[in-house]
Amino acid sequence: MVGLAGLSADSVRVAARSPEPDRGTPGRRRRRLREAALSAGMLAPAVVVYTVMTVVPVVVALYLSLTDWNGFSSADFVGLANYARLFDDPDTTRAAVVTVIVALFGSVGMLGLGLVYALQLKERNWANSFFRTLAYYPHVISSLILGFLWSAILGTNGAINNTLADLGLGPVGFLFDENLAVITLVGVIVWAGFGFNVVLFVAGLQTVPRELVEAAQIDGASRRQINRRIVIPMIAPVVTVAMVLNLVGLIKVYDIVVSLTDGGPAGATETIAYVILTRSFAGTDVGFATAQAVGLMVASAALSVVVTALRNRQDRAAAS
């Protein structure tokens, strides 16, 4: 971050204004042609790998989603039948609802806790930096592993239920009660992800001018008034970006579902990504799986477009 800020905007503007080398003589033209070929060569590896590994599969998905292919025998073109099935299929509907619940409540939980702790940890000192790191560390661990760890803690034979049993309290079905399992899933996701929001918000809070807060303090504003009236409105753009980042991240939740609940009990925690990979695709329903995948891509793209629009608006606001 320091490095990014190191080069001033002025130097860029100066560079942009500097005159282009003049062109025209045959030697220069040949040189320019060679440079153009070289530029294409420098772009080529990235463009080729990205196209073959990302763009082509998307096109293939669009095609496969219009067929009834099972992955082995010949495929018949079925038009939009798979897409119609998306809305009829109870598994897909339930998974869509679970995904929306996870994305919505997970996002709200991460934002809320992120904000609460960012306000506590915004000053730069040793203790705050320790607590920020503590809140953040799950972000670098694979969600698959976090899910297995929490499932060993919250399962029927897990640490929490064994301790409750010692106190004479019955087992709590954190992972085995259909409703509670969804809440547990959201809880573990929030636990793993809120620290990232804390870090984002602290970065935002440190840009709030101190003079503003001090002026309000001198005017006799309470800490709470300062937070509500000055600090939170000033970091609103960062909050918006964090919210949409959370949403975009959460609509594709898969790993943690596999390891925490494996979709159970009775499919109560299956998300869309889980259904695509574990059910439709593994169940050799390739045509339908790709229709679900296309649906997820569209939802993800729509959310990402919202991010970009919000961010552009924020950049314009910052520039004005």
Partner 1 sequence: MTPNLRAGARRRPSPVRVALLTLLFAVMTVPVYLLLVNSFKSQQDIQNSPFSLPFARISLDHLAAAVQSPQYNVLQSYGFTLLLVVAVDVLCILFAGPAAYVIARSLKRRTQFLLLFFLAGTFIPASALIVPLIYVLRAIGLGNTVTGLILHDVAMTLPVSIFLFVGFIRTVPRDIDHAAAIDGAGRLRTYWQVIFPLTRPAVITVLILNSIGIWNDFISPQILLSPGSGTYTVTTAIYAGISQYSTDLTKVFPNLLLAVAPVIIFFVYMQRHIISGLTVGALKG
| Positions in 210-229 near partner 1 (CB under 8 A) | 210, 214, 217, 223
270 φψ region: left (φ > 0), alpha (ψ -120 to 50), beta (else): beta
Q: Closest approach of Cβ 18 to partner 1, in Å?
A: 6
Tokens at 259, concatenated: 């390891």
Q: CB 268 → partner 1: shortest distance, Å?
A: 19
- Closest distance to partner 1 from the beta carbon of 180 (Å): 18
Q: For 67, list phi and psi in degrees, rounded to 5.
A: -120, 170
From 177, 254, 284, 306, residue interacting with partner 1 (rule: CB under 8 A): 254
Question: Exposed, middle or buried: residue 177 (CB in 10 Å: 0-12, 13-18, 19+)?
Answer: middle
Is 304 a residue that touches partner 1 (CB under 8 A)? yes
Shortest spacing between CB 37 and partner 1, in angstroms = 10
Peptide bond into 233 cis (omega under 30): no
Looking at 83, 85, 300, 306, which residue binds partner 1 (CB under 8 A)? 300
Residue with Cβ nearer partner 1 (182 or 272) = 272
Site for partner 1 in 270-299 (CB under 8 A): 273, 276-277, 281, 286, 289-290, 292-294, 296-297
Does residue 135 belong to the site contacting partner 1 (CB under 8 A)? yes
**Phi, psi angle pair for 310, to nearest 5°:** -65, -40
> Binding marks (x or -) toward partner 1, 42..81, rule CB under 8 A?
xx-xxx-xx-xxx-xxx-xx--x-----------------
Contacting partner 1 within 177-216 (CB under 8 A): 191, 195-196, 199-200, 203, 210, 214
CA dist 244 and 241 (Å) reads 5
* Binding range to partner 1, per CB under 8 A, among 94-102, 142-150, 173-181, 228-236: 142-150
Residue 100 contacts partner 1 per CB under 8 A: no
Helix ranges, the chain (H): 2-6, 9-17, 26-50, 56-64, 81-88, 90-120, 126-136, 143-154, 159-166, 178-205, 210-218, 223-226, 232-234, 236-250, 255-260, 272-274, 286-319
Q: What is the DSSP track for 123-152? A: S-SHHHHHHHHHHHGGGGS-HHHHHHHHHH
Binding residue (CB under 8 A) for partner 1 from 29, 30, 33, 35:
35
Determine the interface stretch with partner 1 among 37-45, 79-87, 103-111, 169-177 (rule: CB under 8 A): 37-45
Residue 134 as a binder of partner 1 (CB under 8 A): the answer is yes
Under rule CB under 8 A, residue 318 binds partner 1: no
CA distances from 295 to 88, 94, 212, 233 (A): 14, 15, 47, 35
- Residue 236: CB minimum distance to partner 1, A: 15
Instruction: Give dist(CA 138, CA 260) in Å, integer.
Output: 15
Region near partner 1 per CB under 8 A, out of 82-90, 101-109, 178-186, 300-308: 300-308
- Cβ-based nearer residue to partner 1, 35 or 178: 35
- Number of residues in contact with partner 1 under rule CB under 8 A: 96
CA distances to 75, 100, 271 from 97, rounded to whole Å, are 30, 5, 8
